[in-house]
Amino acid sequence: MTDRQFSLLIDGQPHSGAGSFDVVNPATGEPFARCPKADEALLNQAVAAARAAFPAWAARPAPERAALVERLADGIEARAGELAGLLTAEQGKPLDQAMYEVMGATFVLRAFAAMRVEDKVLRDEGGNQVIEHRTPLGVVAAIMPWNFPIILLMNKLGPALVTGNTMVAKPAPTTPLTTLAIGEIARDILPPGVLNIICDENDLGAALTSHSDVAKVAFTGSTATGIKVMQSGAAGLKRMTLELGGNDAAIVLDDVDPVEAARKIYGGAMANAGQICVAIKRAYVPAQMYDAFCDELARLARDAVVDDGDKQGAQIGPVQNRMQFDKIRALLDHARANGTILAGGTPLDRPGYFIPPTIVRDLDDDAPLVREEQFGPVLPVMRYDNIEEVIARANDSEHGLGGSVWGRDLSRATAVARQVNSGTVWVNQYLAIDANIPFRGAKMSGIGSELGEAGLHEYTQAHVINAVAFEAG
């Protein structure tokens, strides 16, 4: 156990919490640190602090707010090595990927610091001027999952702060520590109350999302929890962005080399041990190249270095928590009985939650591994015979987050991409997420946008001023 102490952040002050809980290193399965825990009274204090800080923060000129967001990015960058080490310890991802997440978080903050909400003149003719301007909403509750705890916080913090809102942030209970360490940095940069951080054991979400002084909920997590969040915010008609689960299909067209396509798709399925909302979660391949494609994927999976993220050379770390580990094991048991496992398939015989990259073929579309979001390093590969059929199969999902199409003929691949019903479809690439490009889910994968100008606007109320001259008579 580390003896490092972590604190909540409430009204600019460190707070030791109303109790504490263990944080487990998924590479060992053992606790390695204690995390302070809030209760409802501390949650109320955090919301009250954010509410009290709101008028002065909203009144500050946008360039000043943006400058402080930039300073936060600088502060995070200055401690990137330490933050990445902590992220690996609690989340499991290999150190280089943890560093990539921490540095990615600074890029997101800087991208939002460069954005502004501008007045829009909707009409200016015949003495009638109509202007739409945008005002901040108030206190934002930001709730994060455990797969990318830092970047998903910054996707919310950047636009919220730049547009003049204040925030109460709540990380997932299994990955709270790097967020608290960033709170230490923010404490010296942001005015008290502008950012508050509380932790829970999955027990304070509803109190936060239904709080009468919370104006907006920015939530990333599973679809099941997203539905609860929407219900609990309904009474207050809270503004919401819900970034939820996905079951992204990769459609391989018949004009690519199957071995090359397998190499590209492998990374999209296995990065972060498959625990990415927009990881490739099922692949559809023309029947004539099915064997070659599956065999190359299996070769890559067998060659992967699966190890503690702290170890030099590790490519795939453990699954983040016990519950997820058990869920993937159950999916593998079903896949073993109903399909063919070409590589992986069995957890490593060592402590921690290690599942090696696994390739499964010959499953039906109705197998749980194909229908459900596996959120782990396991890829099912299905064959198809014609393009209309495969588009229908890709769209036959309650989810619609991302997706990808792989083909040499770009216009044909793009035409297929247009028919995939999801928020984003990549062509010949994956995970091309960019702070300047909006990201959103279709169907049960979410509501509202994160990132880009659309993501910035989600933190504002549009306000129309429609004026004509006062005329006598």
Name the residue nearer to ligand NAD (CB basis): 151 or 390. Answer: 151
246 touches ligand NAD by CB under 6 A: yes
Q: How many CB atoms lie within 10 A of CB 383?
A: 18
DSSP letters of 421-464?
-SS--EES------TTS-EE-EETTEESEESHHHHHHTTEEEEE
Closest CA to 452 of 148, 134, 117, 142: 117
Site membership for ligand NAD, residue 240 (CB under 6 A): no
DSSP state string for 105-166? HHHHHHHHHT-----EEEEEETTEEEEEEEEE-SEEEEE--SSSHHHHHHHHHHHHHHTT-E
Choice from 244, 405, 416, 417 touching ligand NAD (CB under 6 A): 244
Of residues 154-173, those binding ligand NAD (CB under 6 A) = 170, 172-173
Catalytic residue numbers read 243
Residues 48 and 62: their CA atoms lie apart, in Å, by 23
446, 448, 452, 455: which one contacts ligand NAD (CB under 6 A)?
446
The nearer residue to ligand NAD, 290 or 459, going by C-beta atoms, is 459
Site for ligand NAD in 376-435 (CB under 6 A): 401
Residue 347 CA neighbour count, 13 Å, CB half: 20
Closer of 78 and 227 to ligand NAD (Cβ): 227
CA distances from 194 to 138, 162, 255, 260 (A): 10, 11, 53, 48
Q: Which helix (H) or strand (E) holds 290?
A: helix 290-303
Minimum separation from the CB atom of position 155 to ligand NAD (A): 8
> Residues 206, 387, 437, 454: which binds ligand NAD (CB under 6 A)?
206
One character per residue 257-286, x = contact with ligand NAD (rule: CB under 6 A)? --------------------x---------
- As measured in angstroms, the least distance from the Cβ of 351 to ligand NAD is 22
What minimum distance in Å lies between the beta carbon of 25 and ligand NAD? 17
Distance CA 13, CA 400 (A): 41
Residue closer to ligand NAD by CB (options 170, 383) is 170
CB-wise, 155 or 166, nearer to ligand NAD? 155
Residue with tokens 């006062």, as numbered in its chain: 470
Measured CA to CA in angstroms, residue 57 lies from 44, 111, 162, 190, 281 at distances of 20, 20, 10, 10, 42
The CB-nearest residue to ligand NAD is: 205
Binding of residue 441 to ligand NAD (CB under 6 A): yes
Size of the site for ligand NAD (CB under 6 A): 29
Residues near ligand NAD (CB under 6 A): 143-147, 152, 170, 172-173, 202, 205-206, 209, 220-222, 225, 228-229, 243-246, 277, 373, 375, 401, 441, 446
